[in-house]
């Protein structure tokens, strides 16, 4: 298998999944990680587009199959390599899947947009940012409060063990300070972030392409690089109405 990815929230989901499967004792086939330089536009290359017509990381290549969309990749790996990460019992499985899709349809897009306006959209003036910052900021906090409620009395999103729902949601929530979605008054979310972060597989997943000492606190150099890369991706000049 090959994973074409980058050190971003959507990329981390799959890295963490691979490491959690290994931790669960699953015998995965050899996985080659290919680091995609988003700033250089490698996601738009013909080779990349053949595997993912949507031209975004991550994409998993498994023999003749190419799987795009991080949450679809989590589900694919969960089905291919059964473990507690995606239960087989019907009710438990649908509990996990509904939270997985909740992430894909809500948390990713809202936190992603909030991050973009907060950190990356340098080519529009501040006044133009007011409305999207308020809209995505409020909705981001509302989503975090849904999670805070859900985690009441639960260690993980779907009960007392980690599933692909946690793996999908965690990379966006861990970056709440970076995207400036304030969750400091949401104790269940904060405790869950620490609980997930304490897992050895999560530590390994977050470290793909990032030195150990920068997993939680990026260096100023890395922040500047990501800011530049994010600004170039977020720029209206790069927005395409066709591929």
The residue ranges that bind ligand GSH (CB under 6 A) are 8-10, 38, 43, 56-57, 69-71, 108, 233
Q: Which two tokens stand for residue 177?
A: 């300070």
Nearest residue (beta carbon) to ligand GSH: 56
Handedness of CA 35, 39, 40, 46 (dihedral sign): positive
Instruction: Considering the complex, state which of residue 109 and residue 159 has its C-beta at the smaller distance from ligand GSH.
Output: 109
Nearest Cα to Cα of residue 57 among 108, 122, 101: 108
Handedness of CA 168, 78, 100, 232 (dihedral sign): positive
How far are the Cα atoms of 37, 179, 214, 226 from residue 43, in angstroms, in the given order?
8, 23, 25, 16
User: How far is 145 from 42, CA to CA, in rounded Å?
Assistant: 36
Instruction: Considering the complex, state which of residue 45 and residue 149 has its C-beta at the smaller distance from ligand GSH.
Output: 45
Those residues with Cβ within 8 angstroms of residue 212's Cβ, 6 or more apart along the chain or in another chain: none
Q: How far is the CB of 124 from ligand GSH (least distance, A)?
A: 17
Q: How far is the CB of 9 from ligand GSH (least distance, A)?
A: 6
Instruction: Considering the complex, state which of residue 137 and residue 230 has its C-beta at the smaller distance from ligand GSH.
Output: 230
Instruction: Considering the complex, state which of residue 192 and residue 226 has its C-beta at the smaller distance from ligand GSH.
Output: 226
How far are the Cα atoms of 21, 45, 207 from residue 181, in angstroms, in the given order?
30, 33, 24
Q: How far is the CB of 40 from ligand GSH (least distance, A)?
A: 11
Q: How far is the CB of 38 from ligand GSH (least distance, A)?
A: 5
Q: How far is the CB of 191 from ligand GSH (least distance, A)?
A: 26
Instruction: Considering the complex, state which of residue 19 and residue 69 has its C-beta at the smaller distance from ligand GSH.
Output: 69
DSSP classification of residue 88 = -
Instruction: Considering the complex, state which of residue 144 and residue 167 has its C-beta at the smaller distance from ligand GSH.
Output: 167
Q: How far is the CB of 185 from ligand GSH (least distance, A)?
A: 27
User: How far is 110 from 137, CA to CA, in rounded Å?
Assistant: 8
Using DSSP's 3-state secondary structure scheme, residue 67 falls into: strand
Q: Beta-carbon neighbour count of residue 70 at 10 Å?
A: 29
């Amino acid at each position: 298998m090959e994973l074409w990815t980058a050190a971003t929230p959507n990329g981390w989901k799959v890295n963490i999944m691979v490491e959690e499967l290994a931790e669960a004792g699953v015998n995965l086939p050899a996985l080659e990680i290919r680091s995609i330089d988003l700033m250089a536009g490698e996601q738009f290359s013909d080779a990349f587009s053949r595997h993912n017509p949507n031209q975004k990381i991550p994409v998993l290549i498994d023999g003749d199959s190419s799987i795009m969309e991080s949450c679809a990749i989590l589900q694919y790996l969960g089905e291919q390599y059964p473990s507690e990460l995606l239960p087989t019992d019907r009710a438990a499985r649908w509990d996990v899947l509904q939270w997985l899709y909740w992430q894909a349809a809500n948390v990713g897009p809202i936190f992603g947009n909030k991050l973009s306006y907060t950190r990356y959209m340098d080519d529009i003036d501040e006044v133009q940012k007011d409305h999207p910052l308020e809209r995505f900021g409020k909705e981001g906090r509302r989503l975090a409060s849904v999670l805070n409620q859900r985690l009441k009395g639960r260690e993980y999103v779907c009960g007392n063990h980690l599933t692909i729902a946690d793996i999908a949601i965690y990379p966006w929530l861990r970056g709440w300070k970076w995207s400036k979605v304030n969750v400091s008054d949401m104790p269940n979310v904060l405790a869950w972030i620490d609980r997930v972060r304490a897992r050895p597989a999560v530590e390994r997943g977050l470290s793909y392409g990032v030195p150990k000492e920068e997993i939680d606190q990026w260096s100023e150099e890395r922040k500047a690089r990501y800011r530049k890369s994010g600004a170039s991706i977020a720029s209206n000049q790069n927005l395409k109405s066709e591929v």
